[in-house]
Amino acid sequence: MSACNRTRLIWASFFIFMVMLCNVKAYSEVNGIGDKTLTLDECINIGLQTNPSAEISMQNLKVVEEKIGEAKGGYYPSLKLSSAYIYTTPLDNKLGASPDSYDTRFFVKQALYDAGATSNLVEGVRQSIIAQEYDVKKTMLDIILNIKSTFYEVVKRGALLDVTKSSLNSAEKHHEQAKALYSEGLSARFDMIKASVQVSNAQLDVIKAENAVLLAKANLATAMGLPVMINFEVTTEGSTAQTAMRLHMHIVVDLKSEVSGQRSTRLRLTSSRQKVGFIPV
């Protein structure tokens, strides 16, 4: 197996492991959510714990943090120890055969001056860590924003469902009234048929509204990192202003992440130029 295939296999195994880990966390949360009424804050707290994007972003941060030690390797000396032993077999027990020889060598290599290439590389990695930290925060805020959007979509669809049910109730009453008037001979049969059609249309609107609520709940469950088939209700009571403050920081975090990423790129470019001798010092 080639090195490229081994690398792909390792990354594929790591991705599968992360997905399984996130699923275990998600299903552990499901046990306490079924048939429960959730507020916006509760949905956000669940989403930050179970959404796979949050866990993947944290793991990416750990990967970048591990590179700081590799970047600092240029500051430290490199050691090399080699040893050899040569044994010569005498021919027919003749004298004068070459004696055994031993060879031991110890090498120490230390860069005394690299025109700032190592320091720029270390600083570039630090800026990458800062940028990734902002990316983690941005991922969290994206999850919150998505949960808020889908949460209020569920609330809106629920309100529309109540309206369609009220319209169905009114249509049924009107149908009963038209039926009674027709039986008394006070209205035409056309009015009773028209009222019946209105009831059928209202029933169809209720079915569409119910499906829209189910779809909105499935989108909310997906935003929280939960299975789409889970059954729960939502309420707008009990929410705080904390979620609004989280969203207020979204643009600021995104901008800081972009700035840190640009700094990291510039420092890496400078370090690469110094290594190949483009910048004499």
CA dist 13 and 229 (Å) reads 28
* Element of type H or E holding 181: helix 117-183
CA dist 45 and 27 (Å) reads 15
- The 10s digit of each residue's pLDDT in 172-187 is 888 888 888 878 787 7
- Predicted local distance difference test score (pLDDT) of residue 214: 92
Best CA proximity match to 50, nearest among 5, 19, 7, 14: 19
Which residues, in sequence order, are CB contacts of 15 under 8 Å at separation 6+?
none
Residue type, 108: V
Q: What is the mean pLDDT of the chain?
A: 75
Q: Give domain 28-76+132-265's CATH architecture.
A: Up-down Bundle (1.20)
Question: What are the sequence ranges of the domains in the chain?
Answer: 28-76+132-265
- The 10s digit of each residue's pLDDT in 184-202 is 787 777 888 888 898 899 9
Q: DSSP state, 75? A: G
- Predicted local distance difference test score (pLDDT) of residue 204: 93
19 with 225: CB under 8 angstroms? no
pTM over 0.85: no
What are 166's two structure tokens? 């009220």
- The 10s digit of each residue's pLDDT in 115-127 is 777 777 777 878 8
Degrees, nearest 5: CA angle 145-157-194: 160
Least confident of 97-101, 120-124, 231-235, 254-258: 254-258
CA dist 244 and 267 (Å) reads 36
Measured CA to CA in angstroms, residue 11 lies from 16, 17, 61, 64, 174 at distances of 9, 10, 16, 15, 65
Is the pLDDT reported for residue 215 higher than 90? Answer: yes
